[in-house]
Structure 1
Amino acid sequence: MARFEQYDNRDDIYNSSTSSQASLSPPAVLRELAKQCDVRFNGSNPWDIQVHHRDVYSQILTKGSLGFGESYMDGLWDCERMDELFYRIMRANIEENLVGVGKFALILQSLRHRFFNLQTEKRAYQVGEQHYDIGNDIFEAMLDSTMSYSCGFWQKANTLEQAQLDKLDLICKKLQLKPGEKLLEIGCGWGGLASHAAEHYGVEVLGITISQEQQKLAQQRCKGLPVEIRLTDYRDLEGEFDKIVSVGMFEHVGEKNYPIYFDTVNRLLKKDGLFLLHTIGIYKTIHRVDPWIDKYIFRNGKLPSAEQIADVLNKRMVIEDWHNFGQDYALTLLAWWDRFEAAWSMLSEKYDQRFYRMWKYYLMSCAGFFKSRQGQLWQIVLTKRDRTGTYRSIR
């Protein structure tokens, strides 16, 4: 990664007029937008933006949220409570009011997702290579012992570990797992759910992933259990399963592939089977993604709306239960940050400061996203129409 320089000696890097307080004042349009979400440039609140160089403003005006994120990675601004900053920005839907090229970039993003299939079978592995394969050491340091990289269930928990264990158990109970059943996990991560289901519920598990690093570690973690971890795309699967689950993977499917995704589940699921979809959702249909997240974190990702899911399920599957606990994701992300920050002295031997700032921006902006309730977390239980019996959900 590129070497990162913080702006500690700003007067040596920029001339005195550049670093003067007057030159750091924002343009009127940005000052007004910030005011709408109770944020100030160089203000005294912990969620205010502390500007180190005036280039921040041109980056925002020309590239929108992409420029905002990149200027943070470059050390041009800081904020004490970034999760609160993003909560206020997203609560006010401030990005939709950006003018100039920043807004034009959002339109291009929307057209890109409307007219191109960014999640074809050939492209499906890109997010694995870019994000999930960056290094298992990052995720081992940040996540709990189950290696769960999805929202925890904090209803009764007060630690990350307990929230993730409660989430895994909630999924298994909602699926009504029984000894001897075959469970398919579409997007198995590092094997946390697969090993939990096999060990505590006596099922045989096939977990699939598009990440080589995930596959290797998941195979090690599931050794000795009736679990197979396979590197493959969901569209290539064959067979029949009693139960199917997908946790934190649907965000990578893409709206053009929703029909084939659910058709694949229908094809693989037994007549009386259950399918649980655990996914991030967004509060309204948007045909684009945040360009910074797309470039640096989750390539080709796309968050579904309730409208999009319900529309594609029409005549395909029956919705038995729809459970939202999106506020729990903010708690999960902040717990991940605390663990990442505590491990940074060790991780910094391999990763530079620009990576540190990128990762902080990622976790804090996502925490603000869920706090603002733009982001939701859904667990949806689905069945085939010809399933017999009544499904009784649990919480």
Structure 2
Amino acid sequence: MPSASAFTFEPPAVLRDLLARADVGFDGERPWDMRVRNSRLYRRLLTQWSLGAGEAYVEGDWDCERLDMLFERLLRAELDRTAPAIARLQLLAESLRQRLFNRQSVARAHQVGERHYDVGNDVFEAMLDSRMIYSCAYWAQAQDLEQAQAHKLDMICRKLELQSGETLLDIGCGWGGLARFAAERFGVTVTGVTISQEQLALARERCAGLPVTLLLQDYRSLTGRFDKIVSVGMFEHVGLKNYGVYFDTARRLLAPDGLFLLHSIGVDRRAPHTDPWIERYIFPNGKLPSPGELSDALEGRFIIEDWHNFGPDYDRTLMCWAERFEAAWPRLAVRYDEAFRRMFHYYLLSCAGFFRSRQGQLWQLVLSLPQRRSIYRSVRPGAPA
């Protein structure tokens, strides 16, 4: 292999031709073209592909006016599945690790909390809506992020047919936004669990005085019985090897006539590995389910009452988060360096492109136990009444 010094600012033909499949160029004038600042970028793309691209961006080796547009093109052309030969070996090794090892074991469960959710509540307070809902908003009739998240929470509660006096389990409760909303608006008693110390502290503060109990706990150790169960934006951290345990746990905890709403990002087809950059720097040990993987795990455990896909809404949500993050950067810069800014910018806008390409999906499934007697009617609201 040529040394790094052998590369100039002229890109190797293999990279130029590969990106041309997505109508992306090096040092072009279009907003989605890559602007090269350091020629070592080429070596990093050839040897590490997605991981190399992300690390090089954070370190300032290249820029792009519209990362969201760049990633939409790369993913629509499926260049994430077409890596140079050397980089392909690393992806194969990652696929083998996913298959051979349980990377979402109990011992590793707190890693994503420590690495991502505990990064700093000030970042998320600046980026998210006032309830700090860190999942896809619902934009059917919403005018802004605040309204879109409120509509999403209302839709979840109505899909669950929440009634005053019921008990609700929130698996992956985040900063307590849904727990507080359900307790205040629907009169339910909520138990929520998270694996993030920072989330737990702020969630308890935000839910003070309400019938809400919040715990730092892995879902696998939960006990009790609940009328309804909800899990929003947490299933992505469960891992394929644990799908059976996850749904068996939910089945054990759910009342016979209850409902379980699962809100999760998904992918359009089975993927052997997670994006290496996202896995290393944003969501360690993450795994997005495919429709087949999810239905395989549910078969024999739950009845699928409803499967709602509103993936395009995540594109708009992420673009809002990115805009708010950039607007807040002058005050965040006191605590965080420029590399952190570039990392978060890259994360949010690459994910927007992922959903815009339609590889990324956002699903809400309503699940019930086979012994449920009540008839379920699907909910597709616009704005709440």
Q: TM-score range by the shorter chain?
A: over 0.9
Matching of residue 52 in structure 1 with residue 37 in structure 2: yes
Per the alignment, residue 371 of structure 2 pairs with 386
The Cα of 1:101 is off from its aligned counterpart by 2.0
Per the alignment, residue 272 of structure 1 pairs with 257
Matching of residue 27 in structure 1 with residue 48 in structure 2: no
Matching of residue 188 in structure 1 with residue 173 in structure 2: yes
Residue type of the alignment partner of 1:356: R
Equivalent residue runs for 1:1-395 within 5 Å: 23-395=8-380
How far apart in 2 are the matches of 1:118 and 1:210? 16
How far apart in 2 are the matches of 1:97 and 1:218? 42
How far apart in 2 are the matches of 1:96 and 1:285? 12
Query: Which ranges of structure 2 fall in alignment gaps of 5 or more residues?
Result: 381-385
Deviations 1:187-207 (A, max 9, x none): 000000000000000000000
Q: Which deviates further from its counterpart, 30-39 or 96-105?
A: 96-105
The Cα of 1:222 is off from its aligned counterpart by 0.3
How far apart in 2 are the matches of 1:389 and 1:219? 34
How far apart in 1 are the matches of 2:142 and 2:199? 27
The percentage of counterpart residues that share the same residue type is 59
Pairwise CA RMSD of aligned residues? 0.9
How far apart in 1 are the matches of 2:21 and 2:10? 17
Structure 1 segments of 4+ aligned residues over 3 angstroms from their partners:
none
Conservation of the 8 A alpha-carbon contact between 1:64 and 1:105: no
The Cα of 1:53 is off from its aligned counterpart by 1.1
Residue type of the alignment partner of 1:142: M
How many residue pairs match? The answer is: 375
Residue type of the alignment partner of 2:49: G
Deviations 1:56-94 (A, max 9, x none): 110010011000000001101000000000000011111
Query: Which ranges of structure 1 fall in alignment gaps of 5 or more residues?
Result: 1-17
Question: Normalising by the residue count of structure 2, what TM-score does the alignment of the two structures yield?
Answer: 0.96
Secondary structure of the residue aligned to 1:218 is: helix
How far apart in 1 are the matches of 2:118 and 2:210? 24
The Cα of 1:389 is off from its aligned counterpart by 1.9
How far apart in 1 are the matches of 2:83 and 2:304? 38
The Cα of 1:110 is off from its aligned counterpart by 0.8
Conservation of the 8 A alpha-carbon contact between 1:96 and 1:103: no
Residue type of the alignment partner of 2:338: Q
Per the alignment, residue 383 of structure 2 pairs with none
Residue type of the alignment partner of 1:229: L
The Cα of 1:156 is off from its aligned counterpart by 0.5
Secondary structure of the residue aligned to 2:129 is: coil
